[in-house]
Amino acid sequence: MSADTHKNRLIQIDGGLIGPREPKRKIVKAKTREDYPEVPAAILDVAEVYSSPKLAGPPLCDELVALMVHVFTEEEATVARHVGPKARETAESVAAAAHRPVEEVRPILEHLADEKRILLSYGSGDEKKYTNLPLSAGSFEMVLMRPSMDTITDWHRKFCELFAALWETGYGVDYWAKGKPVVKYLPIGRTIENQPMALPTDKLEEVFDRYDIFGVTLCQCRMVEELVGRGCGRDKEVCMALGLSALPLIEKGKFRRIEKQEAWEIKKQAEADGMVSWITARDPEFGGSCCSCCGCCCHMMRTISEFNMPGMIAPPHFIPQVDFDKCNYCGKCALACPMGALVIDIQNSTYIYDSTRCIGCAQCAIACSKLKAIEMVPVPNYEPFIQGRKPVL
């Protein structure tokens, strides 16, 4: 299967013009508790936890309340509301705050962490701690993280529907606009294989050589879009954990363990299908992660491709350079760009490049492989992506 098989719903063809759709705007409407007299107070308490800026949360709104009503029963909410933003609570501390016996509270916390997966737990015994994560990225991924669609239930389908409605209000604009980069997208390997300025972490194969443990799971973003009827058809089993950080995810059944060769084959197929890979390659002794994304499903990419709000993605090391003597303005590069960084007028032979949207993935260069009118060139004075206070080199 090739990238031509799949379509990016956020790229439009309007007459002879190929480029991104008009960006969406924030439409979330903040409300107060008094607007929800029929919703149990405990569930509104939990909604306020997830609306905290500490969790990059939305304001209290119809979409958030609907999601909380679906995720938590009233009984669960009376416990979960005592796990505050970025809290690290034990069953004993939650029980004390709730004025209930720990024997009643612990099973509820374990159900929320192990079954619904809305809370994150770590440790064991009396020292086991529970914490919450931002809805995105965080809780939504944890709820859906699994190596097979076979375990998806009607509850999960409704969760996806409600989460998608909340995310599409654009509440995240306030965070995306000022957020620091959290991931770095890599150029497709063969476009820079002979480039002397390429760093080790510009090349996915060299990144993989740092690790001996690999786990793979389904892309949660693509799962949501498929379950709400907007799936692009690209493979979902592309999200990977690398190194020691993969082990607990594999042990809990959230990831499937694979060998390095299979990991590499998955990534090569993803590139052929028009996806591009990001990395969070921390200290090799701890681990990292790597997902392959498309501009029409990935929430990280859609901050740019749908809302035109760069900020969470590191600037590229390589950008496209066009030889206009070879370019015939066919528009294939604009169709292939996952970010909508290119606008081609095939009738009037014009080419517009938006550097603020470009992530340097090189899908445009791959799409132009016959004419070879596009090559990836290094950005002058490039500063390596800083992650965890250290350059990712």
Q: What is the mean pLDDT of residues 291-297?
A: 94
Q: Does an H or E element contain 77, and which?
A: helix 74-80
Residue 119 is part of a domain; what is its CATH number? 1.10.10
For 313-340, how does the pLDDT look when each residue is reduced to its tens digit (9 = 90+)?
889 999 999 999 999 999 999 999 999 9
In the chain, the number of structural domains is: 2
Same domain, 189 and 330: yes
User: The tokens of 139 are what?
Assistant: 């809780």
Same domain, 183 and 145: no
In percent, the amount of the chain with pLDDT more than 90 equals 79
Same domain, 230 and 283: yes
Per-residue confidence band for 388, with pLDDT thresholds at 50, 70 and 90? low
Cβ proximity of 195 and 318 under 8 Å: yes
Assign residue 41 a region (left: φ > 0; alpha: ψ between -120 and 50; beta: otherwise). Answer: alpha
Same domain, 234 and 143: no
Closest CA to 162 of 274, 62, 264: 62
Closest CA to 51 of 39, 37, 38, 65: 65
Q: What is the mean pLDDT of residues 135-149?
A: 93
Distance between CA atoms of residues 106 and 97, nearest Å: 13
pLDDT recorded at residue 390? 45
Domain boundary among 123, 141, 171: 171
Same domain, 91 and 218: no
User: The tokens of 246 are what?
Assistant: 């993969």
Residue 235: pLDDT over 50: yes
pLDDT recorded at residue 310? 78
Q: What is the mean pLDDT of the chain?
A: 92
Residue 1: pLDDT over 50: no
Query: What is the residue range of 365's domain?
Result: 3-24+177-391
Same domain, 213 and 126: no
Torsion 175-358-17-232 (CA) sign: negative
Assign residue 14 a region (left: φ > 0; alpha: ψ between -120 and 50; beta: otherwise). Answer: beta
Instruction: Please give the span between the terminal C-alpha atoms of the chain, in angstroms, as a whole number.
Output: 33
Same domain, 185 and 143: no
Residue 176: pLDDT over 90: no
Report if pTM > 0.85: yes
Per-residue confidence band for 391, with pLDDT thresholds at 50, 70 and 90? very low
For 54-95, how does the pLDDT look when each residue is reduced to its tens digit (9 = 90+)?
999 999 999 999 999 999 999 999 999 999 888 899 999 999
CA distances from 142 to 16, 79, 135, 187, 204 (A): 42, 19, 9, 28, 25
Residue 18: pLDDT over 70: yes
Same domain, 20 and 57: no
Same domain, 294 and 348: yes
Same domain, 211 and 241: yes
Dihedral, 55, 61, 67, 71 alpha carbons, nearest 10:
70
Per-residue confidence band for 6, with pLDDT thresholds at 50, 70 and 90? confident
For 251-285, how does the pLDDT look when each residue is reduced to its tens digit (9 = 90+)?
999 999 999 999 999 999 999 999 999 988 656 67
User: The tokens of 281 are what?
Assistant: 């390659």
Q: What is the mean pLDDT of residues 350-357?
A: 96
pLDDT recorded at residue 201? 81
Same domain, 237 and 186: yes
Same domain, 37 and 144: yes
User: The tokens of 202 are what?
Assistant: 């510009």
Domain boundary among 171, 196, 216: 171
pLDDT recorded at residue 282? 58
For residue 253, the tally of other CB atoms under 10 A from its CB is 13
Domain boundary among 127, 149, 171: 171
User: The tokens of 208 are what?
Assistant: 């993989």
Distance between CA atoms of residues 48 and 42, nearest Å: 10
